[in-house]
Amino acid sequence: MVIGTSVICCCLVYSIMLLILYFSKRRINNTENKIYSVLVVINVFGLVLELLCCYFTYYNGIDTLHTMLCIICNRLFILYLLTWLSVFTFYIFYITFTKNDKIQKNMATNKKRFFIIAGILYAIMLVFALMLPLYYFNDGNYVYSYGSATSLLMVFGGITIVFDIFCVFKNRKNIRNRQYYPLFVLIILMIIVLIIRNVNPGIILINSTFAFITALMFHTIENPDVQLIGELYKNKKLIEKSNEDTSKFLFKMTQDIKNPVKELISISRDMTNETNIDVLKQASKHINNYSTQIDYLINKALNISSMDTQKIKIYENKYNVINLFKEISFRTQEKINPEVQFSFSINQNIPEYLYGDAIKLKQAVYSLIDNAMNNTKTGFINLDVSSIVRYNVCRLIISIEDSGQGLDIDEVNKILSLNSEDLEEIKLTSLEDRNNLDFKSVKKIINILGGSMMLKSELQHGTTVTLVLDQKIVANDDTTITQKLESYEQTLYGDKKVLIVDDDAEELANITSLLEKENVIVSSSVYGRDCIEKVRVKMKYNLIILDDDMPNYSALAILQELQKIKNFKTPVVVMINDNKESIKLHYLKDGFADCIMKSKLESELARVIKRF
């Protein structure tokens, strides 16, 4: 008994030290750490219970109180052992299937049912553990309990170990994952403990084994800091690659804008002294064409404030956008004239999966390439796919450029001037299963998909067609670096995350600086629509501050849109000028949580932060 209690005491001291060490450090608030937190706490509780079991079993029968406490402690100890095994098994289950998309989706869908079934099974085991007979042995040297209740515990332990081994088998590709080390050690130690128990039932080491496994897990669970650094490193590489793609994209767009601007300057200079009406008419057509190009690039392609999830035509079809364009590229290379050089490039930051009509998109793009191949006998054809990713929206910018014979300016302007009524005349039935559609039909298809088309062409100088299409991104169930950083921010700062919307860049910088002095995490935007999209995609803020004097989106309009979002409860504060102080009450009646006077910005911000 002395040896047994000494081992328990040593385990208890070490477990308490581990408990203090673990909870004294800041941790990422993820599922794995939550499970381990439960194990650390109940392990200490179990060791204390085991010491009490030894004491009261040794003095069992002295009086009624000791007998009753002996029964209570031993029953509670069995319940603890069942609980530890259940939590450990859940940990193995979690680390096995957390990276499996299919299992994760099934769990998310049937989460309530899963926990109800697991809870019922756990409750049944607890009832049996409380009801089955339990006897006590004490010969002065050894004290222990035995009976059907302890046999049930052994059976349950065997079942959980078998289930854990099944989980490892399902994830055998990652069997070297250090997170499985505690399981392997547990299996070996449990075999040794059972052998020792059969030789001498008085030597009970099962809970000391659990304590050792709990301590071992501390060194095998993902270290929050190391994990974060590793994820940040991977994210850094992705950002570097994304920056390269962004630089190339911006360079290309800059050139696409600069060239029409140069042409406009040149045409306007030539028109200054021109008197020929026909020449002036032709020049005006070119001016109109170049102006349309610039307007398209600025408003359709580069204007991120127009990226609105609500406006996207939703298709439940999930498609792999990278594979789609690789297939188009492969088919083009098989068919293209050997005298024509074909090149294909795709931006690396495009999400792998999007929601949309892949069949119609493929039909439109391939029709444009087919048209380019038919009109380009020598030279080149380029297919370039870029993107702007913003929250859960991906804006595809698809460009097909060739050095073919091109189109006349009148024909180009005619195609560009087609409105929705003109396109209605084109029957959808005539477009099915064809990959050789003309520009009008392609424009019809792209309009149906919710996108837009730009045509730039010049006789004997080739054609460039640009398609812009917003698609919803297929959500990724894996834990992302963003989620981990949000959890880390929550640990460091608590409920101090503020979103500011103000189109005055200088004022925005000033407010950000003032709030950061209050140890607040600040997110900012110059777009009202940006605020709505951030909340819509579940980005969490503890306070939202809106400027009332934004031209495109008023603070009230933003608030009304936010209130339409399900479960939106974040307080929204409006910033107003002194001339509106008299109608301050109206803002509060409209639903704003508070008003900030811009003339007293520093004190007003401090007041609002303190209040909320």
pLDDT (0 to 100) of residue 478: 45
Is 90 exceeded by the pLDDT of residue 402? yes
Is 70 exceeded by the pLDDT of residue 483? no
pLDDT (0 to 100) of residue 209: 87
Q: Domains of the chain, with CATH numbers?
A: 2-222 (1.20.1070), 232-473 (3.30.565.10), 494-611 (3.40.50.2300)
Torsion of CA 58, 62, 64, 67, to 10 degrees: 10
18 contact partners, CB below 8 Å, separation of at least 6: 40, 214, 215, 218
Is 70 exceeded by the pLDDT of residue 589? yes
Question: Is there a contact between 182 and 216 (Cβ–Cβ < 8 Å)?
Answer: yes
Query: What would the two tokens of residue 93 be?
Result: 């289950």
Q: CA gyration radius for the chain?
A: 34
For range 165-169, the mean pLDDT: 83
Could you identify the residue written with the tokens 């000033």? 510
* CA atoms of 521 and 544, how far apart (whole Å): 12
Is 90 exceeded by the pLDDT of residue 383? yes
Is 60 exceeded by the pLDDT of residue 1? no
pLDDT (0 to 100) of residue 55: 84
For range 257-264, the mean pLDDT: 85
DSSP string, 232-265: HHHHHHHHHHHHHHHHHHHHHHHHHHHHHHHHHH
Query: What would the two tokens of residue 420 be?
Result: 């929705």
Is 90 exceeded by the pLDDT of residue 573? yes
Q: Is 405 exposed, middle or buried (0-12, 13-18, 19+ CB in 10 A)?
A: middle
How much of the chain, in percent, has pLDDT values that exceed 70? Answer: 83
pLDDT (0 to 100) of residue 44: 92
Q: Which of 67-76, 222-231, 274-283, 564-573 has the lowest mean pLDDT?
A: 222-231
Query: What would the two tokens of residue 34 be?
Result: 């939550």
pLDDT (0 to 100) of residue 428: 57
Is 80 exceeded by the pLDDT of residue 343? yes
- Mean of per-residue pLDDT scores for the chain: 81
Residue scoring higher pLDDT (491 or 445): 445
Q: Which of 190-194, 483-487, 517-521 has the lowest mean pLDDT?
A: 483-487
For range 63-82, the mean pLDDT: 88
Is 80 exceeded by the pLDDT of residue 452? yes
Residue range 495-552, pLDDT digits in tens: 678 999 988 888 888 888 888 887 788 888 888 888 888 888 777 888 999 998 887 7
**Greatest mean pLDDT range, 96-105, 436-445, 474-483, 589-598:** 589-598
Is 60 exceeded by the pLDDT of residue 430? no
Residue 470: beta bridge partners? 395
pLDDT (0 to 100) of residue 352: 84
Residue 522: beta bridge partners? 498
15 contact partners, CB below 8 Å, separation of at least 6: 40, 43, 44, 47, 211, 214, 215
Residues in the chain: 612
Q: How confident is the model at residue 477 (pLDDT cuts 50, 70, 90)?
A: very low
Q: How confident is the model at residue 423 (pLDDT cuts 50, 70, 90)?
A: low
Q: Which of 99-113, 153-167, 362-376 has the lowest mean pLDDT?
A: 99-113
